[in-house]
């Protein structure tokens, strides 16, 4: 029978420990299984869905998206913003003050500045989109082939890229546009794209070289998937993030390049309404009527700012190092 005598002097340590009170932590009623359970019933989020979740929380994205949407609407549907023909000029209205239906006034030729600012977005956006599309297609192909296949492909294509990279794009466009006097938006975009593909080719090459060493590429190779199939279905979708970021910024760069050529009289013809052409015409009146220069320059600057901010927002959303900052 156990000893029920309380411990006291002369009793051993075993008997003392036997009558010592013990305390136990309360057990969580929900249980560890409920606490540590993870809901895996839903589909796993991809890199793009995670990027969109981060992107839509950034005010910078919505501001830039609003600017780009406005500029694109002006380029595609200018009639929604003005009913005035930008080519209908009357010298009797030369340097006319703002009035009803003409909020920006008139330039030296008597043209409505507001209408020309609205219609000027069409030429700039058209050239920018065409040049960016050509650059993305050509530069991505060159960079992907050089980065994935390596060897002599990489050597030859990289040296060709370095040669074109050393030629300033605006300087080359000035020389080429003096030879080809077509002056259409397609011609200007083709000239800009001919010397503007090098950056995206280098970016694509580096991104592909990083992705091609991942485990899922090795797994696809072990399953017998062809090299072109691996490049198209596994490498490029995971290497596209920096390409998208640069393409967004490059669109603004090409818009500036088109305006520069039009300002120098080497881009679009004078019959085409463009911001660069209007800035060139307004420089003679900058001291007396600076507002004539301000409106097309503001439209150009706001457009480029919108695309640059969009590029920054997309970069932060797609870059894992930037997501938690």
How far apart, in whole angstroms, are the C-alpha atoms of residue 144 and residue 200?
10
206 assigned to some structural domain: yes
User: For residue 200, what are its two tokens?
Assistant: 């995206």
Q: What is the pLDDT of residue 1?
A: 47
103 assigned to some structural domain: no
User: Cα–Cα distances in Å, from 14 out to 9, 17, 18, 19, 302?
Assistant: 13, 5, 6, 9, 86
Average model confidence (pLDDT) across the chain:
82
255 assigned to some structural domain: yes
User: For residue 196, what are its two tokens?
Assistant: 């503007």
15 assigned to some structural domain: no
Q: Are 198 and 165 in contact (CB under 8 A)?
A: yes
212 assigned to some structural domain: yes
In terms of Cβ atoms closer than 10 Å to its own Cβ (0-12, 13-18, 19+), residue 190 is middle
pLDDT band at 133 (very low <50, low <70, confident <90, very high): very high
Please provide the DSSP assignment of 195-211 as one string: HH-HHHHHHHHHHHHHH
Tens digit of each residue's pLDDT (9 = 90 or more) over 205-240 = 999 998 888 888 888 888 888 888 888 888 888 888
Q: Domain of 312?
A: 47-97+123-318
Domain of 206, CATH number, reads 1.10.3720.10
Q: What is the pLDDT of residue 44?
A: 55
Q: What is the pLDDT of residue 17?
A: 55
81 assigned to some structural domain: yes
Number of domains observed in the structure of the chain: 1
6 assigned to some structural domain: no
> Residue 251 pLDDT > 70, yes or no?
yes
C-alpha torsion sign, points 139, 141, 142, 147: positive
Q: Find where tokens 């910078």 sit.
A: 60
């Amino acid at each position: 029978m156990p000893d029920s005598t309380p411990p006291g002097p002369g009793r051993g340590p075993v008997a003392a420990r036997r009558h010592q009170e013990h305390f136990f932590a309360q057990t969580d009623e929900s249980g560890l299984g409920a606490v540590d359970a993870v809901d895996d019933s839903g589909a796993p989020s991809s890199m793009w869905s995670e990027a969109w979740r981060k992107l839509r929380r950034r005010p910078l994205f919505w501001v830039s998206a609003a600017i780009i949407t406005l500029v694109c609407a002006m380029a595609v549907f200018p009639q929604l913003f003005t009913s005035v023909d930008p080519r209908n000029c009357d010298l009797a209205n030369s340097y006319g003050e703002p009035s009803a239906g003409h909020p920006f006034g008139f330039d030296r030729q008597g043209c409505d500045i507001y209408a020309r600012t609205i219609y000027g977005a069409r030429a700039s956006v058209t050239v920018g989109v065409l040049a960016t599309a050509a650059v993305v297609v050509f530069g991505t192909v060159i960079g992907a082939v050089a980065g994935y296949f390596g060897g002599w492909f990489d050597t030859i294509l990289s040296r060709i890229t370095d040669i074109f990279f050393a030629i300033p794009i605006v300087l080359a466009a000035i020389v080429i546009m003096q030879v080809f006097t077509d002056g259409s938006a397609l011609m200007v975009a083709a000239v800009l794209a001919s010397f503007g593909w090098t950056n995206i080719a280098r970016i694509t090459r580096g991104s592909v070289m990083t992705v091609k060493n991942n485990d899922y590429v090795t797994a696809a190779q072990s399953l017998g998937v062809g090299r072109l199939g691996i490049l198209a279905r596994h490498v490029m979708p995971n290497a596209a993030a920096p390409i998208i970021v640069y393409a967004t910024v490059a669109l603004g760069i090409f818009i500036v390049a088109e305006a520069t050529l039009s300002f120098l009289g080497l881009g679009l013809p004078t019959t085409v309404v463009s911001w660069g052409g209007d800035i060139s015409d307004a420089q003679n009146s900058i001291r007396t009527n600076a507002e004539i220069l301000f409106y097309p320059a503001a439209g150009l600057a706001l457009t480029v700012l919108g695309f640059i901010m969009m590029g920054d927002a997309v970069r932060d959303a797609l870059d894992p190092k930037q997501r938690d900052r």
